[in-house]
Amino acid sequence: MTARDSADILVVGTGFGGAITAYHLAAGGAKVVMLERGPWVASDEFDHDFLLGSSYTRIFDFVVGDGMSVLGGNCVGGGSVVYFAAMPRVPGFVFERRGSLGRRMWPASITRDTLEPWYDRVAESLPITRQDWNDVTYSGGLFAAACAHAGRTANPAPAAIDRDRCTNCNWMMSGCRFDAKRSLLLNYLPAAVAHGAEIRPLHEVQRLSRTPDGYRVHYTHIDGDDYRVTAGEGTIDAKIVVLAAGAGATPVILQRSAAELGTLPPAVGRYFSGNGERLNTAVFDEDRVREVLGLHHPGGAYAASQVGKGPCVTSWDRLDGTLPEFERFTLEQLYFPPGFGTILAQIPGAGGEPTWFGPEKKEMLRRWQSWLTIFTMSEDDNEGVFGPPPPTGNAVRISQQMLGRGSLRYDPTPNTLRGWAAADAEVKDILERDGLATVEPWTNDLVGAYTVHPLASCRIGDDPATSALDDRHELRGHPGIFVTDGSAVPGALTVNPAFTIAALAERAVPGIVRAAQDHGVAVGYGAPAPDGVTSARRAATPLVRDMVGGG
């Protein structure tokens, strides 16, 4: 049986791109319905284990592609539930990137200066603080000390964390049961609901089709225990559709819709970026750490990760706009569960070649409590391409939760490989000095590259040939369809992208409001932050004066 419903505006996804737009549109008076593929998990349901059926497997989506695997959120709140809460602003040079296009990738209307008021709007709604050195984990301090020893700098990252609530449990990657991490579950989403928005979890959007005055969104209802099983289907008609399902799902929905929507922009499902991400594992010699750096903890670096408040410590030394493109990157120390490292960390084999198994790997695993993971965010070449969409969803589900096989193809170019090599060399230079550690990159042999920050698969830009969206985030040739998630970001950012995705979503809202008004929806723009604060709203108002009547 097919259920039928309608709304003024239908938002697909509840992460940063979806929650922010839904809040403002609902606060402006529109009837808003949000469809979320994953479950709605309450704070007290976030488990501190990795068992099948725990929050860990329920709220993640791990899709293996050809040369690239993508790890993302799969729950109400999306990536904000599973991220490390690091919220840096993007350096100005990123907006001038040319990549392999030979011209500016970003729309001319967007620079660091023009995006600044929208960053401020997010910061007012999602307070961001910088921890001091009394708060950081021992492992973060160890990374910072190694950087200083090598003549580099490192600092605690700005983060959306309530430090009074943080218990140092270090399970934030699996959701925060103490509400210390300021996910969207605590601000934009409840505020949207308070203004009448409806959130429907376990609804997976399959495709869009046209109606006389808008679009019809076709979805299936997913079983809460086994995501391979459906429990019915339905449609919702809406005058405006906002796609914010994530850079690994939004282009797939559009690809599957092409037969009914008509010709799509050629950039849909192309130019995917993994944010230039790469990981290295450093196995420390605790005796050398004590001798060289004067640091010691009885449990070793990782066993003491819970001593201090996260999320991470970052080195921005290579974020220099005068450096050549593809040689700029961030190095970030963070906590990855031992299971990930167990699978992917390499070790020199008997013949010196890298391997991910064998007796050498077994010895490495024995010392996991002395590991640190160093995360690189660099500049890639937007080389990812989505193939034909799977029959349903964004991937062919392999297990009942979390794991799937997708259509993304990724073959890194020499530019991307050069950036990774430069970052790997920097990590080794910092951490192997004076015998502090042995550094090995995570293997690409099993699943190719991997990213936790997928971007650019349906991006904004000025060139219709290479950008699926105009600078208002509207899908070219399809008025009333907007994209506000990481898909819309033009390329790799060299830093954690959550803050920028959120700022771009804030910036997109006035244009969505105007389009909704043109389609007969009684909606306005100008809501304060979810908690009622208005100073950043006042700063942004001159940018959209024609939308708010000059007030």
Condensed to tens digits (0 to 9), the pLDDT of residues 359-381 reads: 666 666 666 667 788 999 999 99
Average pLDDT for 271-290: 92
Residues 60, 72: contact at Cβ < 8 Å?
yes
Separation CA 238–CA 6 (nearest Å) = 6
Query: CB-based contacts of 193: which residues, under 8 Å, 6+ apart?
Result: 199
Average pLDDT for 44-49: 88
pLDDT in tens, 522-540: 999 999 888 876 555 555 5
pLDDT in tens, 148-186: 999 999 999 999 998 888 888 878 888 999 999 999 999
Q: Which domain holds residue 339?
A: 2-544
Residue 194 located in a structural domain: yes
State residue 356's pLDDT score: 56
HEC assignment per residue over 483-527: ECCHHHCCCCCCCCCHHHHHHHHHHHHHHHHHHHHHCCCCCCCCC
Residue 26 located in a structural domain: yes
State residue 237's pLDDT score: 98
Residues 412, 258: contact at Cβ < 8 Å?
no
Residue 184 located in a structural domain: yes
State residue 362's pLDDT score: 67
Helix axes 112-125, 498-518, angle to 10 degrees: 90
Question: Which of 425, 395, 31, 348 has the alpha carbon at shortest distance from 193?
Answer: 31
Distances in Å between the Cα of 296 and the Cα atoms of 138, 141, 145, 154, 315 are: 9, 11, 12, 19, 22
Token match 């024609």: residue?
Answer: 546
Residue 218 has pLDDT above 50, yes or no: yes
Average pLDDT for 413-421: 95
Query: CB-based contacts of 551: which residues, under 8 Å, 6+ apart?
Result: 526, 541
Q: How many domains does the chain have?
A: 1
Separation CA 258–CA 55 (nearest Å) = 35
Residue 549 located in a structural domain: no
* E strands in 185-328: 198-200, 203-211, 214-222, 230-243, 277-284, 313-318
State residue 169's pLDDT score: 80
In one-letter notation, the amino acid at residue 33 is: V
State residue 282's pLDDT score: 87
State residue 172's pLDDT score: 81
State residue 123's pLDDT score: 94
In one-letter notation, the amino acid at residue 121 is: R
Residues 132, 291: contact at Cβ < 8 Å?
no
Who has greater pLDDT, 172 or 459? Answer: 459
State residue 517's pLDDT score: 97
Residue 551 located in a structural domain: no
- Tell me the pLDDT of the chain averaged across its residues: 89
| Confidence label for 505 from pLDDT (cuts 50, 70 and 90) | very high
Residues 379, 325: contact at Cβ < 8 Å?
yes
State residue 546's pLDDT score: 46
Question: Which of 160, 89, 86 has the alpha carbon at shortest distance from 126?
Answer: 160
Residue 412 located in a structural domain: yes
Query: CB-based contacts of 336: which residues, under 8 Å, 6+ apart?
Result: 173, 279, 373
- DSSP conformational letter for 368: G
Q: What is the CATH number of the domain that holds 261?
A: 3.50.50.60
Question: Which of 523, 253, 232, 491 has the alpha carbon at shortest distance from 377?
Answer: 491
Average pLDDT for 295-309: 75
Residue 550 located in a structural domain: no
State residue 347's pLDDT score: 56
Average pLDDT for 250-262: 97
Residue 366 located in a structural domain: yes
